[in-house]
Every structure is written in structure tokens, then in C-alpha cells.
């Protein structure tokens, strides 16, 4: 029997060799840590469906932001959990609304040492829980919502957001918000577009994190999980409208989309490893079914390998510490 000329195993024979030939690496600077901040609490509130993740108080938020800087994490994505909600999401563009207050505090804490991003969507601020305004006939009003997003973007820019993360999936949201920011002299603020955002069961634990009141679903604005060509159309529109970064969400169940978007885009591509992806690993690990640390690293590496240059993950600080 002839011995094989090529022996791939030679390249795997020591840890040093495997490190030398690694095609994909993770770096803390590529990671973005999502943080929740809840109005009116003095202590962080743990989340049952996301073990290890909390709703921060303003004080603990500052500490978490400072820690992320020290660990070299690339960015923060802030979500607000307001005390009051109403039909139009007034808290979203109120300078005293929790998310805007939090942005100010975080910028005061970290300056420009880390990229500070804000989720730009109405769902945390509306009493019906939809990402936009709801018309009398019960449909989500696209163009009316764009006005709210523009106002929210200006409030977030004023509060110090380096990047606004448009996650509402309204048509034309990137172009509309870009124009509003530019008209207000804020062409310096970046837009991260949740370009391909699927209507996903994997957002389940997040809904607890922001105490969502949604009763129906988001099928009329978020994408059907089986559609891939549509994702490319969404990305193309967002790029035409001026998106600086495009994102695919969720990540692990949509790696084919991450790859396709990375091939299509000449801007940085982000992927959001969402709450359900986090919760699955944590729950399986807690039940002794999976090696937690290895599963975390493998999932992040897979997302990176698929073509995402930026990864939003609730494990960002923990992983940055080990890298
Ligand atoms: C909308 C928004 C959602 C998430 C991020 N931004 C929820 C949704 O679209 O229903 C989900 C994030 C996660 O599950 O980790 N503001």
C-alpha cells in the first residue's frame, strides 16, 4: 500500500503548528457586547432566561463599560428598558429616556476608548411591543415609523452614540435616518443596519431582557427564515441608502446568509449571536450536556469563518478575557 504524499495531519501535530496555520482567529476588538440598562433600579437584575446576563443599573452599566474597555472589547450595544411605555414610544427620543441617559453616562465613562452603539428601534418603548407605530387597522405603519426613527437617531447622537443600530426592519430606514443625521450636521454618526434580520424564535430570551409586551409577531417586517435571496436585496438597499456596517441576525442558524452577505458587501459585516443562541449553550452546559467554553469558542469561530468581521455576543467580555 502506497503511503499518501500529502499528510494534512502533519499540520495538526502540535498546538504550536495548529496555531501557526489557523485560518480564523478571534480578537477582542472584533467583539461587541450588548448591554441592557433598566430604568429605576439601584442594583443589576439577573435574567432567568439568560443566566449570567443582567439588566444593569446606571452604576453597574458604567462598571461593565469600563471593564469592556480594559478587556479590549471592540464595542458596546446598548438597549434600554424603560419604566413607562406608550403607543408611540415617547421614551425613545426623550433626552431623559433611559437609553439616552445611559448613552451619556457611558460616553462620560469611556470617551472614545470603545465604540458606543445604541439599538435604534421602538419595541422597548412601545406599549404594544412593535418595532414601529401601529395604525388603526392594526398594521405597522412604515413611513410614520421612519419619522420616529429619525427623531430617535438625533436623540441618540446628541446623547453620544458613535453608531446607531437600526433594528426595526422598516423599508427606507437607513436612507431616512442618514438624511436626518446629515441635515442636523451629524454626518459623523455611523449607521449599523440590521440589514438581514429574520423573524426568529431565537429572540425569545431577549424579550424577557427588555420585558417586551409584544403579543403577536413581527412577520410583516422581519424576514422569513427560509429566504436567502431576499436577504441580499435587503443588504443592497441598505448599502445604497448609506449603511456603514451591515448585520445579519441571528448568527449561527444563518451562516449561509453571513457568507453571502460578506461576499456581496464592501462594508464591514457584523453578525449578532442572539439571546437564544446564548441561552441554548448556557442551558445545555448547566445540564452537563455540553462543554461550555468549547461550545462558545466554536460557535464564535464558525461565525467569524462564515465571513463576519464583527460579532455581537453576550459572551464578549468573558471571551475577550480568555483571548
Ligand atoms: C429589536 C431587537 C431585538 C433584538 C435586538 N434588537 C428583538 C426583536 O427583534 O424581537 C434581539 C436580540 C437578541 O435576541 O439577543 N429592538
255-264 and 229-240 helices cross at what angle (nearest 10)?
A: 40
Q: What is the DSSP string of 129-184?
A: --SSEE-TTS-EEHHHHHHHHHHHHHHHHHHT-SEEEE-S--TTHHHHHHHHHHHT
226 found inside a domain: yes
- Is 277:255 a contact under the CB 8 Å cutoff? no
The residue range of the domain holding 122 is: 26-322
In a domain, 8, yes or no: no
% of residues, the chain, pLDDT over 90: 95
User: In 3-state terms, what secondary structure has residue 24?
Assistant: coil
Residues forming beta bridges with residue 34, ordered by sequence position: 77
pLDDT per residue over 45-66, tens digit each?
999 999 999 999 999 999 999 9
Q: What is the pLDDT of residue 4?
A: 82
Q: Residue 2: what pLDDT?
A: 72
Query: Is position 17 within any domain?
Result: no
**Residue identifier of the C-alpha nearest atom 5 of ligand 1:** 167
Answer whether residue 90 is part of any domain. Answer: yes
DSSP state of 77: E
9 in a structural domain: no
As given in the structure block, the three cell numbers for residue 32 are: 461587541
The total number of structural domains that make up the chain: 1
What stretches of the chain show up as alpha helix (H) in DSSP?
A: 15-20, 58-70, 98-110, 142-159, 173-183, 204-209, 229-240, 255-264, 275-286, 292-306, 316-322
Q: Which atom of ligand 1 is nearest to the CA of 168?
A: 1
Say if CB 125 and CB 96 are below 8 A apart.
Answer: no
Name the residue at shortest CA distance from atom 12 of ligand 1. 274
- Global pTM? 0.97
pLDDT in tens, 98-128: 999 999 999 999 999 999 999 999 999 999 9
Does some domain include residue 19? no
**Closest ligand 1 atom number to CA of residue 122:** 16
Per-residue confidence band for 1, with pLDDT thresholds at 50, 70 and 90: low
Amino acid at each position: 500500500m502506497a503511503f499518501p504524499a500529502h499528510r494534512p495531519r502533519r499540520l495538526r501535530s502540535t498546538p504550536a503548528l495548529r496555531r501557526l496555520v489557523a485560518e480564523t482567529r478571534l480578537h477582542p476588538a472584533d467583539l461587541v457586547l450588548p448591554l441592557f440598562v433598566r430604568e429605576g433600579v439601584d442594583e443589576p437584575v439577573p435574567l432567568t432566561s439568560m443566566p449570567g446576563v443582567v439588566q444593569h443599573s446606571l452604576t453597574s452599566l458604567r462598571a461593565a463599560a469600563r471593564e469592556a474597555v480594559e478587556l479590549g472589547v471592540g464595542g458596546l450595544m446598548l438597549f434600554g428598558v424603560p419604566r413607562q411605555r406608550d403607543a408611540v414610544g415617547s421614551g425613545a427620543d426623550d433626552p431623559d429616556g433611559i437609553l439616552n441617559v445611559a448613552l451619556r453616562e457611558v460616553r462620560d465613562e469611556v470617551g472614545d476608548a470603545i465604540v458606543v452603539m445604541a439599538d435604534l428601534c421602538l419595541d422597548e418603548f412601545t406599549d404594544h411591543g412593535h418595532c414601529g407605530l401601529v395604525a388603526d387597522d392594526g398594521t405597522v405603519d412604515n413611513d410614520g415609523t421612519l419619522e420616529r426613527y429619525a427623531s430617535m437617531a438625533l436623540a441618540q447622537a446628541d446623547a453620544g452614540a458613535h453608531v446607531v443600530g437600526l433594528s426595526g426592519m422598516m423599508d427606507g430606514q437607513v436612507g431616512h435616518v442618514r438624511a436626518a443625521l446629515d441635515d442636523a450636521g451629524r454626518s459623523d454618526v455611523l449607521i449599523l443596519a440590521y440589514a438581514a434580520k429574520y423573524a426568529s424564535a431565537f429572540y425569545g430570551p431577549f424579550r424577557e431582557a427588555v420585558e417586551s409586551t409584544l403579543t403577536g409577531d413581527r412577520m410583516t417586517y422581519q424576514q422569513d427564515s427560509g429566504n436567502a435571496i431576499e436577504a441580499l436585496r435587503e443588504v443592497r438597499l441598505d448599502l445604497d441608502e448609506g449603511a456603514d456596517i451591515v448585520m445579519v441576525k441571528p448568527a449561527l442558524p444563518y451562516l449561509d446568509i453571513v457568507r453571502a452577505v460578506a461576499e456581496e458587501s464592501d462594508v464591514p459585516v457584523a453578525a449578532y449571536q442572539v439571546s437564544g443562541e446564548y441561552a441554548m449553550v448556557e442551558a445545555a452546559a448547566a445540564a452537563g450536556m455540553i462543554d461550555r467554553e468549547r461550545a462558545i469558542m466554536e460557535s464564535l469561530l464558525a461565525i467569524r469563518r462564515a465571513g463576519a468581521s464583527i460579532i455581537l455576543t453576550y459572551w464578549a467580555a468573558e471571551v475577550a478575557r480568555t483571548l
